[in-house]
Structure 1
Amino acid sequence: MTPAPVPTLPLVDGILAVLRAAVPEDVVVGCAGVPPGTEPPYVVLYPDTGNEARAEETLDGATPTDLYYQLTCVGSGPEQAIWLANLTTIALLTTMPTVAGQRPRLALREGSQPVQRDDDAGGVYIATAQYLTRTQPL
């Protein structure tokens, strides 16, 4: 019998915990948004819902799950956005999320975009990067 795919919400929570531990206490870390009126610096995690990695199925029939996500680091200036992007990237690439019943791997950075000013959001600066975290059932 093939084990069921792992749920991704606990992995999202684990990634959020890694991010919150990596930034100063006054930096808001949100999932798919932040509360209205939040001032920079802040970071937003935009996760997908996960995909089964069938090609990586283990000998016991377990199928890993790939979670793709974007991290958007927001600063009042470009230096602040880059500073926050550096903190969060280092954390994601070096810290394993803790997830009950799962064995996640370290994140892989899949891509990024140049830092840019977002005039639609009040002239803040954003640094975005995309990541992949693979997990499998224990």
Structure 2
Amino acid sequence: MTTPAVLPHRDAVRAALEAAQLVVGLGGAPDPVPSSGMYVVLYFTPGQSLPESLADARTDFDSLFQVTCVGPDEERCLWLADKVRTALYGPLTVAGRVVWRPEELGGPPVQRDDDVSPPLFYVPVQYRLQSTS
């Protein structure tokens, strides 16, 4: 029986995104920001451990995460969202766990950030991640 931990799950998502050649920031823009202005930011909730049965063995894990896609225009922002979707389509690997494929929950329309110069476009897409031991 393995107690669920959030960081190995976050690292598995990050690895999948980086394997798709995406520049990933954790909780903020990567440093340095790529000259293309295209990157994704990964935000993870701490999740929760859930009982797998009435015996109350809390080995199941359920969490939400968000991937915010950032680009110099709407088209490249949506292109990143497609790349993220493809990267997260396959199975994720977390040692000692069986991980469900991330469930895409969607997000709002692309938005323009005029508080930076030049303006950037971004879209947050949320996912649900579950695993068991």
TM over 0.5: yes
Amino acid at match of 1:49: P
The 2-side partners of 1:36 and 1:18 are apart by 19
The 1-side partners of 2:94 and 2:49 are apart by 17
CA RMSD in angstroms comes to: 1.9
4+ residue runs over 4 A deviation:
none
Kindly tell me the number of residue pairs found equivalent between the two proteins.
129
CA spacing shift, 1:90–1:124, aligned 2, 3 Å = same
Runs of 5+ unmatched residues, structure 2? none
Question: Are the equivalent residues in 2 in contact too, given 1:19–1:29 (CA < 8 A)?
Answer: yes
* CA deviations over 1:75-98 (Å, ceiling 9, x no partner): 000000000000101221x21111
Matched, 1:7 2:8: no
Match of 2:97 in 1: 102
Among 45, 49, 57, the alignment partner of 1:48 is 45
Q: Which has the higher helix share?
A: 1
The 2-side partners of 1:101 and 1:59 are apart by 22
Match of 2:28 in 1: 33
Compute the displacement of 1:35 (Å).
Answer: 3.6
Q: What SS does the aligned partner of 2:115 have? A: helix
Match of 2:77 in 1: 81
The 1-side partners of 2:46 and 2:62 are apart by 9
Match of 1:128 in 2: 124
Question: Are the equivalent residues in 1 in contact too, given 2:66–2:124 (CA < 8 A)?
Answer: yes
CA spacing shift, 1:75–1:101, aligned 2, 3 Å = same
Question: Are the equivalent residues in 2 in contact too, given 1:72–1:129 (CA < 8 A)?
Answer: yes
The 1-side partners of 2:132 and 2:82 are apart by 27
Report the TM-score when normalising by structure 2.
0.86
CA spacing shift, 1:16–1:37, aligned 2, 3 Å = closer
